[in-house]
A and B are shown apart, each in its own frame.
Chain A
Amino acid sequence: MQPTSGSVKLFGEEITTMKEHEIIRVRQRFGMLFQSGALLASLTVGENVALPLLQHTDKSVDEVEEIVKQKLQMVGLTGFEDLKPDEISGGMKKRVGLARALALDPELLFSDEPTSGLDPIMTAVVDQLTLKLTRGSHMTAVVVSHDMTSAFRIATRMIMLGHGNIVAQGTPDEIRTSSNPEVQQFIKGEADGPVPLNLSQEEHQDHRHVKPRPLFGARHRFHHKTP
């Protein structure tokens, strides 16, 4: 996907203007966890985790198998190597996605909602894993999350986004004590507050290009005919 404007820098390098072979080099340095897991449905769990290793390293099959076992153990899925993604639950898929994102031992991990759809115990396991990797082995994790418990547990620095802008940023303590009413409403999860419930189309930036249309269209079945 090509950006329309602006600039994205990763590891100090501008990536929006990069050529294909340069960006491949950058992409091997970070891992990405998709919200849905985005596992390849035609491969087994083990093959999914092995995929980046087989594509980008010269490791032997035995070594790859060992790493796959180790990564799956990290996310609590020992013995699931031979199942297909559609045979496991959504939360398990996400944990396999995490194992795959970590397969190449990246310097940077992007996580899109790593804990949504997980039970509280598994959420704690994933949080601890993230903590272990970031504090222990000097990996940076960028986590997008709505789960405030998890966010306050793992974050060293937090940014709240809204209306396409940064609403607030700071350490977890600064955010917790923020005087911004929007921030307080969000972290406490209150229905009433300054953040509007119903966004109209003009306010909802993401879908500005969609034309409004009636819900049932012109061929509405209950349309009244006037004689």
Chain B
Amino acid sequence: MKNYIQLNLSLLYWILIAPFTGQFFKIAPIFRQMVFIGVRAAPMVALTAFSVGVTLAMQAAHSLQSLGAEMYIPDLVMLTLLREMGPVLIAVIVIGRSGSAVAAELGTMKVSEEIEALEVMAINPVQYLVVPRFLAMLVMLPALTIIGNYIGILGGWAVCTFSLDFNTAGYVLRALQSADAWDLYSGMIKSVVFAWIAITIACNAGLNVEGGAEGVGQATTASVVQALLSMLVMNAVLTGIFFFGA
């Protein structure tokens, strides 16, 4: 826990304070990490989101039809995706795929003395390794969430037009009517917070690996479990604040 707080503080130092003392972080590594962390995860995110959209629409159809309220299916798909399922499920995918990769990569660097070598060369490991991954994750997770929301809504549309009595215009109008901008923004805020949790836990686990290959494996597993749990608890807290508070 002490390590984790220290990592967060030094991250904030290197991003917010160090640039004003002339030590600006390099831009190119951020884009390289954005490709690793974000772009390569896009197909998985798309498939997940489409399946979730389809599932939501089918479940909604089943329950709402018995009440004679099929017209609310787009509302349900849209709101569930924007507020909850979009940010949460896409964070799950990214933690499982990119978070574990980061933890394993940094852990391997730790056990093969690469981190020590950086320190001896007067290169701060947080600045050189963690900052680009952190900023990449902070940009890419919300971006993936937007893509995921869109594809999920497309999944709902597929069910509504091909097996229920909706036409495309009706689905789109109904969906847009139900959601306001805050539904999108709340999901975006969540996904920024999830990105922070996911990448700091992964980097912290990687940088503190001890005990060779076995240690790398254990740290990777622990980082995925911890990130998932923290993310889900944080989701409950944020939903409470955004939609249940005042």
A residues touching B (Cβ–Cβ < 8 Å)?
20, 23-25, 27-28, 32, 34, 36, 38-42, 51-52, 55-56, 100
Contacts and interface: CB of A to CB of B under 8 A. Distances in A.
29 contacts: A20-B124, A23-B122, A24-B124, A27-B119, A27-B120, A27-B121, A27-B122, A32-B117, A32-B120, A32-B121, A34-B116, A34-B117, A38-B112, A38-B113, A38-B114, A38-B117, A39-B114, A40-B114, A40-B118, A41-B112, A42-B105, A51-B121, A51-B123, A52-B122, A52-B123, A55-B122, A55-B123, A55-B128, A56-B122
A34 B109 contact: no
Contacts of A100: 121
Given A27-B121, A38-B112, 4 more contacts: A24-B122, A36-B112, A41-B114, A52-B121
Nearest to B128: A55
Contacts of B122: 23-25, 27-28, 52, 55-56
Contacts of B105: 42
A23 B121 CA distance: 11
Interface of B: 105, 108-109, 112-114, 116-124, 128
A55 B112 contact: no
Contacts of A41: 108-109, 112, 114
Contacts, number: 45
Nearest to B116: A38
A56 B120 CA distance: 13
A52 B128 CA distance: 12
B31 to A, nearest CB: 15
A55 B117 contact: no
B108 to A, nearest CB: 8
B125 to A, nearest CB: 11
A77 B208 CA distance: 34
Contacts of B114: 38-41
The 10 closest A-B pairs by CB, nearest first: A27-B122, A38-B117, A38-B113, A32-B120, A24-B122, A52-B121, A28-B122, A55-B123, A40-B114, A34-B113
A41 B106 CA distance: 11
B128 to A, nearest CB: 8
Contacts of A56: 122
Contacts of A51: 121, 123
A100 B128 CA distance: 17
A32 B123 CA distance: 13
Contacts of B113: 34, 36, 38
A36 B123 CA distance: 19
Contacts of B124: 20, 24
A206 B81 CA distance: 57
Contacts of A27: 119-122
Contacts of B128: 55
